[in-house]
Amino acid sequence: MKKKISLLLVLVMLSSILLAACKKDGANEQVDNLLNNTETEIESYSLDGIKNKGKLIMGTSADYPPFEFHIMVDGKDTIVGFDIEMGKYIADKLGVELEIRDMEFNNLLGGLSTGMLDIVIAGMVNEPDREANFTKPYDSDGVHKILIRKSDQNRFQSEADFNGATLGAQTGSLQKDIAKGIEGATVKELPALNTLIMELKTEKVDGVVMSVEAAELYKETNEDIVIIEKVDLTHGDGGPSIALKTGNDELTEYINEIIDELIELNLIEKWKAEAKELSDQEVKGN
């Protein structure tokens, strides 16, 4: 009887050991799979990874003319702008297709960090608190303007007049930082420029800070708002750059070489002029 019990105990122990070994092997396999998947994700937005998958996934926020904006082409909503042309050029150089994902501006860097996006081209400026790789600037440091209601032209004529007032700016944007630099002004951040314009028109903000190019277009499409022409806001930011996932150094350097080529060929200025003309035509068409 004792021998049978002993034999039974031995069998139970062996089964436990084998089960533990199987579980351990299964866990190791799961860990290996996770590591391999992570490695695959990292490679997917690297230079070779993009070539292997055959497409470049570009994130943008298409409410910022002439950089990127929506128009109707043959009855189809289409994203255009000189940032879009640059994305097409980079994809062509890589020998892949371009896939554009239109997102809220403040979600773009998150899209990079999760691997959902390969690059971001959205008039974005390299700032210390932005966790990403940035290329060299592809455009010059721009001028920024304040849009106000036409009925408030006598009330707001200088930066000092916004002491105690509320300024709107796009969440996470350079213009948000510029607005915060205006003494005494309260800054309200919202993700979309269209929404900010509605806030201005409904008197929820007193002014909206945006680039001069975008301000001109929104002024043309809204008869009840104007630009304060006497106020030029600058940041000394060095101009917009292309953002990539932190550590994606090889692709960053590759795109830097393309930017040098674009500047030398004067293509960026050409695309900017074409995008400005296209946005003007869109305004007149409306």
57's tokens: 């996934």
- Hey, what's the torsion of the CAs at 33, 38, 40, 41, to 10 degrees? 140
List, for the chain, all residue ranges whose pLDDT scores fall below the cut of 70.
Answer: 1-43, 141, 236-237, 282-286
Strands (E), the chain: 55-60, 69-73, 76-80, 97-102, 119-125, 133-134, 144-149, 166-170, 186-190, 207-211, 225-227, 240-244
Sign, CA dihedral 207-209-210-213, equals positive
Query: Which pLDDT value is given to residue 283?
Result: 59
The reported pLDDT for the residue numbered 284 is: 54
pLDDT for the residue numbered 160:
96
Backbone φ, ψ for residue 281 (5° rounding): -65, -40
pTM recorded for the entire structure: 0.77
Domains of the chain (ranges, CATH numbers):
47-140+238-285 (3.40.190.10), 144-227 (3.40.190.10)
Cα-flanking dihedrals φ and ψ of residue 279, to 5°? -70, -35
